[in-house]
Amino acid sequence: MRSRDVRAGLAKVNPFWNAHEKTYERCKVCGFRRAVSGAAARPAETEPARARRPVSTALGWTAVVLMVVLIAVLTAVLAGMLLVVSVWLTVAVPLLVLLLVVGVAGYARRG
């Protein structure tokens, strides 16, 4: 059995088998072969309702899950950093002001 026959048989079993293959057409004037793009490349669908529905692949869902996890982790990390910085500022700024006041008062008394 030739490979073209095998591909045609697999395309009948799985309609998405040859979705990645390009369709070519020849120019009527010069005979140049070029790839057909868009709706002209796709054969007419037998089920219009199915044609409108996107095909959900495992790779697509994996990408969505990874993006959600990444966003959640980054949000938690940034919230933690904000908490650490805010606590540090809450403690450090009054402490620095106190040390500055004590230093200025000590310098003034030294006189």
What tens digit of pLDDT does each residue of 30-75 get? 888 877 765 555 555 555 555 555 666 777 888 899 999 999 999 9
User: Does one domain contain both 37 and 74?
Assistant: no
Residues 41 and 86 in one domain: no
Q: How many folded domains does the chain comprise?
A: 2
Residues 1 and 47 in one domain: yes
Q: Are residue 18 and residue 2 in the same domain, yes or no?
A: yes
Amino acid at 96: L
DSSP code string of 78-111: HHHHHHHHHHHHHHHHHHHHHHHHHHHHHHHHH-
Range of the domain at 40: 1-54
Residues 8 and 44 reside in one and the same domain: yes
**Domain identity same for 71 and 105:** yes
pTM of the model: 0.36
pLDDT greater at residue 103 or residue 37: 103
What per-residue confidence (pLDDT) applies to 26?
A: 81
Decide which of 35 and 77 is more confident.
77
Residues 109 and 85 in one domain: yes
For all residues of the chain together, what is the average pLDDT? 76
